Amino acid sequence: MMKDKGKSSLCRNERGFTLVELIVVMVILGLLAALVGPRIFGKVEKAKYNAAKTEVEMLGQGLDLFRLDTGRYPTTQEGLQALRENPGIDQWDGPYLKRPVPADPWQRPFHYESPGQHGDYDLYSYGVDGTPGGEGENKDITSWE
């Protein structure tokens, strides 16, 4: 008889979470997500912007090596692909990039013009918004700045 009484009191002491407790936990998690989420996403866009700057510099180094071998930069028509495949130049001693020509971090091609308006060549990405100009995260990433 004692065993039955012990089991029933044990069952009465076990209980789950109340609806109020679950709502409080969900509100706390929602507040944390609202505070931390924008900071994390801001860091992601900044990291993409910095990656684009690094890729522009890396492509610029490949362009400089191309010029050392051939005496000129690739034309706009030859484009950045001339860093990977010989466009028909005898002095070409590439490939000048280890991997295929990358897209910018927003999966759009880098823009290349030679001769450029700002130097021997212009190499740039339009950034987050994909349109010329912009401020902050939307600022263009260029080889001449």
Nearest to 63 by CA among 2, 115, 141, 131: 115
**Per-domain residue ranges of the chain:** 23-142
What's the pLDDT score for residue 22?
85
What's the pLDDT score for residue 93?
92
CATH number for 23-142: choose from 3.30.700.10, 3.50.50.60, 3.40.50.2300, 2.60.15.10.
3.30.700.10
What's the pLDDT score for residue 2?
52
What's the pLDDT score for residue 5?
54
What's the pLDDT score for residue 129?
85
What's the pLDDT score for residue 7?
55
Burial-class residue 106 by CB neighbours within 10 Å (0-12, 13-18, 19+). Answer: middle
Helix (H) / strand (E) element for 58: namely helix 19-70
Q: What percent of the chain has pLDDT over 70?
A: 88
Residues of the chain under the 50 pLDDT cut: none
